Amino acid sequence: MRASFVFSEVVTGLRRNITMTIAMIITTAISLLLLGGGLLVVRMIDNTKELYQDKVQVNIYLTNDVSASDKQCQNDPCKGLRSALESDPAVQTVEFENRDQAYERFKRIFEAQPELVKLARPEALPSSFNVRLKNPDRPEVIVQTYQGRPGVDSIGDQSQFLDRFFSALNGVRNGTFFMAGLMAVAALLLISNTVQLSAFTRRTEVGIMRLVGATRWYTQLPFLLEAVVTGLTGALVATGLLVGLKLAFLDDVLAQPIKSGVVKAVEAGDIAFVAPILFLIATVVSAFTGYVTLRLYVRT
């Protein structure tokens, strides 16, 4: 197999159908861009989950009379609850916060809204146990065990809020994957069409090749490589766009939540992780499409 010959055939073929080649690269690139975006969201979800993993707490709020009478948690039922929690195998740490401390924290959080602080009274805030779990994925264990015990008013489970947050992110991910899938279909059809067109415009060459006894690989490899080259170019463009979008857009838009630690930033490393996947998919899919097309439509 003469590499220079095959290579020059590929270049000629791509240049001959230059408009189709460009259309093919663009659709492939957009499809891969969406796929890459989806994968980045997946990574962001994972990273952000990690970020929250050790911060998720279950708050056990005590009833009003316990909050008012037992500020140091020295009597039952507060004392009993605390020792129960401390000896609970599912619990990692327990912190008691009385209503004065809660009020201090409240004032700190709402510093910017003094009228809200003015309205609030310490008496409106309950004492609570802030419980950190050994297994943050299973807060319902605590809820079931301590709900309704004497002195317990209600149990706040932060993970419920996080679940909603992550399900929104999952929605974004599914949406991008869906769009990526649609674009991928368009890209596949374009690749298939271009391979057919390419084979058709070169039917004289292919006819001669067959007559003089060129093997199937020799006649078909140029077409296959054409598809793969455009696929890879598409992957390259998609990666470039991902980097560009991160620098020009994503970093700005998410600057605030990233700084305050709400979400994890998309790092260059994340793109470096996603890019090889895009290249691999581009190669496999374009080669496969090219091969199937040649099998189905081009006589050898």
- Interface pick for other proteins out of 219, 233, 289, 293 (rule CB under 8 A): 219
- Interface pick for other proteins out of 112, 212, 248, 253 (rule CB under 8 A): 212
Size of the site for other proteins (CB under 8 A): 17
- Residue 115, burial from CB neighbour count under 10 angstroms (0-12, 13-18, 19+): exposed
- Interface pick for other proteins out of 211, 248, 253, 296 (rule CB under 8 A): 211
**Which is closer to other proteins, CB of 8 or CB of 113?**
8
- Interface pick for other proteins out of 208, 255, 284, 292 (rule CB under 8 A): 208
Q: Which stretch binds other proteins (CB under 8 A): 44-52, 214-222, 224-232, 253-261?
A: 214-222
Site for other proteins in 148-167 (CB under 8 A): none
Scan for tokens 């709020």, then name that residue: 61
**Residue 55: CB atoms within 10 Å:** 11
Residue 214 sits at φ, ψ, to 5 deg, of -70, 145
Least distance (Å) from other proteins to the CB of residue 258? Answer: 56
Least distance (Å) from other proteins to the CB of residue 19? Answer: 19
**Which is closer to other proteins, CB of 140 or CB of 205?**
205
Q: Which stretch binds other proteins (CB under 8 A): 29-37, 107-115, 215-223, 253-261?
A: 215-223
Q: Which stretch binds other proteins (CB under 8 A): 26-34, 65-73, 207-215, 232-240?
A: 207-215
Least distance (Å) from other proteins to the CB of residue 222? Answer: 10
Q: What is the x/- site pattern for other proteins, positions 165-204, by CB under 8 A?
A: ---------------------------------------x
Read out DSSP for the chain?
--HHHHHHHHHHHHHHTHHHHHHHHHHHHHHHHHHHHHHHHHHHHHHHHHHHHTT-EEEEEEPHHHHHH-TT--STTHHHHHHHHHH-TTEEEEEEE-HHHHHHHHHHHTTT-HHHHHH--GGGSPPEEEEEESSTT-THHHHHHHTT-TTEEEEEEHHHHHHHHHHHHHHHHHHHHHHHHHHHHHHHHHHHHHHHHHHHHTHHHHHHHHHTT--HHHHHHHHHHHHHHHHHHHHHHHHHHHHHHIIIIIHHHTHHHHHTTSS----HHHHHHHHHHHHHHHHHHHHHHHHHHHHHH---
Least distance (Å) from other proteins to the CB of residue 21? Answer: 18
Contact between 205 and other proteins per CB under 8 A = yes
Cα 171 from Cα 259, distance rounded (Å): 24
Nearest to 25 by CA among 220, 238, 290: 238
- Interface pick for other proteins out of 55, 149, 216, 295 (rule CB under 8 A): 216
Contact between 210 and other proteins per CB under 8 A = yes
Q: Which stretch binds other proteins (CB under 8 A): 150-158, 213-221, 229-237, 253-261?
A: 213-221
Contact between 3 and other proteins per CB under 8 A = no
Residues near other proteins (CB under 8 A): 1-2, 5, 204-205, 207-216, 218-219
